[in-house]
């Protein structure tokens, strides 16, 4: 078998979405699969021939998204090879050369019709453009009359016969060639259409498998005809099933909670781990060969095979993503994953610039926080915003703050503060482990005449400013005596000021 060379070929018309990321992932997995035998190549090609839809900076963002996801490409922009360049706008002369070659060989023709010219047969012809073939068989004399006029180059599609091919997902497919358009290959401005550019590039770049979205399946017979006209062997075809939302409608790029859309940047900004996201989309259209749902990228690439791709559309259920995120996050936190620690530190520095002491940003402290909090929170963004008490004292200064309102709802808070300090600040009496913290709670509760649960809530309120959180005893130990005593004393002082 020849070397596996696959490509991810997005258009820089906006941010990368889940469907695009899945296409990139499957191409990457195939290039790293056992089928590739260590010789596969994953290529990034930027298809920017539709200049009217380009978004400035989109190519840079696409590359950034792939890097964040952990899908490095072997050849592409910034990674040159003998088959580059990898940006289609830098390959225009190639496309013009091959388009005119087809004209010279009789497989294509120049069309001088106005783009707005109505077709006299558009109501009866089966093809999607309705082009009536006015220029398909012009005589040389007629061509001479049009000399100097703008033209497009159209492919001369056969008027009869069956176009039969094999797709790894949808198997054997046959199309009546009389239904195919005389598609435009080269526009009047000299720019190619997708059909010409993709076929030329896939051949010249040695692409072995074209793996792309289901929406391109109807174009495949046209592309096969182009390969035949050029005398080239076509690649193997792999078309991926649609992604649907919960209403079983095609997933829009704008789908998602809070209108944030199904863009990769949304999930990155919300703190999802890239491997959890890849695990999620990897199972949207493919089944692993073992009875396991939580998979690393390495596990997916070791198991990946085209024979287990799904035909049916896949429903995007973000609840399942949250479940996978929890599993991946807990495992990474338990393993003190350096990348996870680094991500948490970056989010903290962005959220609270210059407010956090350097000691509380140390890798050792952050690892301890992650291990403690990962049973409750599973995204670094949530930890940053829902558990700031690991780095900052709770703010009780504003009566409308959540912490102040919680404190106001708890009876005898100053007494709990004083009683706790009286007990824990005795010589050698500060708790050294979780058991000692838990043993102190009934004693404090008895002295202030409150239940153990309310006493625990009072202590949690003073230390964290929240009603719920990580285990109270473990939180007290991790914060340390200086921080805990300082936070509790604020409530003793506030009681004195009210007298």
Q: In this structure, is residue 465 part of a structural domain?
A: yes
Averaged pLDDT for residues 362-384 = 95
Residue 332 in this model has a pLDDT that exceeds 50: yes
Q: How confident is the model over 189-209, as a mean pLDDT?
A: 98
pLDDT score of 133: 87
Question: Do the bridges between strand 41-44 and strand 108-111 make them parallel or antiparallel, or are there none, so unpaired?
Answer: unpaired
With bands split at pLDDT 50, 70 and 90, how would you rate the model's confidence at 294? very high
User: Residue 348: is its pLDDT beyond 80?
Assistant: yes
Residue 441 lies in a domain: yes
Average pLDDT, the chain: 92
Q: Is residue 128 part of a domain?
A: no
Range of the domain at 481: 393-498
Q: What is the pLDDT of residues 118-148, one digit of tens each?
A: 443 333 333 445 688 899 999 898 988 889 8
Residue 352 burial by Cβ neighbours in a 10 Å radius (0-12, 13-18, 19+): middle
Please indicate whether residue 291 or residue 125 has the higher confidence score (pLDDT): 291
Catalytic residues, which ones? 253
Cβ pair 58, 14 in contact under 8 A: yes
440 falls within a domain = yes
- pLDDT of 259 strictly over 80: no
494 located within any domain: yes
What pTM was estimated for this model as a whole? 0.89
- Indicate whether 402 belongs to any domain: yes
pLDDT tier at 214, thresholds 50, 70, 90: very high
Residue 134 lies in a domain: no
**Domain CATH number, residue 432:** 1.10.10.350
Q: Among residues 374, 388, 392, which one has the least CA distance to residue 336?
A: 374
Residue 58 above 70 pLDDT?
A: yes
**Residue 62: per-residue pLDDT:** 96
Q: How confident is the model at residue 38 (pLDDT cuts 50, 70, 90)?
A: confident
Share in percent of the chain as helix, strand, coil (round to 5)? 50, 10, 40
Measured CA to CA, the distance from residue 258 to residue 178 in angstroms comes to: 47
Please compute, for residue 240, the number of CA atoms within 13 A of its CA located in the half-sphere on the CB side.
Answer: 24
Identify whether 463 is part of a domain: yes
**C-alpha dihedral (81, 86, 90, 93), degrees to nearest 10:** 80
Structural domains counted in the chain: 1
CA of residue 41 relative to chain centroid, distance = 21
Q: Show the tokens assigned to 468.
A: 């719920």
Q: What's residue 354's pLDDT?
A: 85
């Amino acid at each position: 078998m020849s070397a596996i060379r696959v490509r991810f070929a997005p258009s820089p018309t906006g941010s990368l979405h889940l469907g695009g990321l899945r296409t990139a992932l499957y191409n990457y997995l195939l290039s790293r699969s056992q089928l590739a035998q260590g010789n596969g190549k994953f290529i990034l090609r930027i298809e920017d021939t539709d200049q009217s839809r380009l978004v400035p900076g989109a190519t840079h963002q696409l590359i950034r998204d792939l890097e964040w996801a952990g899908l490095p490409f072997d050849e592409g922009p910034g990674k040159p090879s003998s088959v580059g360049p990898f940006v289609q706008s830098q390959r225009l002369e190639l496309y013009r050369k091959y388009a005119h070659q087809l004209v010279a060989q009789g497989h294509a023709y120049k069309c001088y019709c106005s783009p707005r010219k109505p077709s006299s047969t558009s109501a009866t012809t089966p093809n999607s453009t309705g082009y009536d073939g006015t220029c398909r068989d012009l005589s040389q004399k007629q061509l001479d009359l049009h000399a100097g006029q703008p033209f497009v180059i159209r492919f001369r599609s056969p008027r009869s016969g069956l176009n039969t091919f094999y797709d790894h997902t949808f198997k054997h497919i046959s199309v009546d060639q009389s239904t195919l358009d005389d598609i435009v290959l080269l526009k009047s401005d000299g720019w190619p259409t997708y059909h010409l550019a993709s076929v030329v590039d896939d051949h010249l770049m040695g692409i072995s498998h074209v793996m792309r979205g289901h929406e391109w399946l109807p174009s495949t017979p046209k592309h096969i005809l182009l390969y035949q006209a050029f005398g080239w062997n076509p690649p193997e075809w792999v078309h991926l099933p649609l992604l649907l939302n919960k209403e079983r409608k095609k997933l829009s790029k704008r789908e998602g909670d809070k209108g944030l859309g199904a863009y990769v940047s949304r999930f990155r900004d919300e703190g999802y781990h890239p491997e959890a996201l890849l695990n999620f989309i990897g199972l949207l259209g493919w089944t692993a060969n073992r009875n396991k749902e939580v998979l690393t990228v390495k596990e997916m690439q070791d198991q990946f095979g085209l024979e287990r791709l799904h035909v049916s559309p896949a429903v995007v259920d973000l609840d399942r993503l949250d479940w996978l995120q929890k599993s991946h996050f807990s495992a990474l936190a338990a393993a003190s994953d350096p990348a996870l620690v680094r991500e948490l530190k970056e989010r903290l520095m962005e959220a609270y610039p210059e407010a956090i002491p350097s000691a509380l940003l140390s890798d050792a402290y952050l690892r301890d926080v992650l291990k403690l909090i990962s049973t409750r929170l599973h995204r670094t963004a949530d930890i940053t915003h829902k558990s700031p008490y690991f780095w900052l004292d709770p703010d009780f200064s504003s009566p409308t703050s959540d912490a102040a309102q919680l404190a106001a709802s708890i009876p005898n808070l100053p007494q709990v503060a004083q009683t706790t300090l009286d007990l824990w600040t005795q010589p050698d009496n500060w708790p050294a482990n979780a058991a000692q913290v838990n043993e102190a709670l009934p004693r404090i509760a008895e002295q202030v005449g409150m239940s153990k649960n309310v006493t625990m809530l009072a202590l949690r309120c003073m230390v964290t400013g929240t009603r719920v959180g990580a285990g109270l005893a473990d939180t007290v130990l991790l914060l340390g005596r200086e921080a805990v005593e300082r936070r509790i004393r604020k409530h003793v002082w506030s009681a004195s000021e009210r007298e």
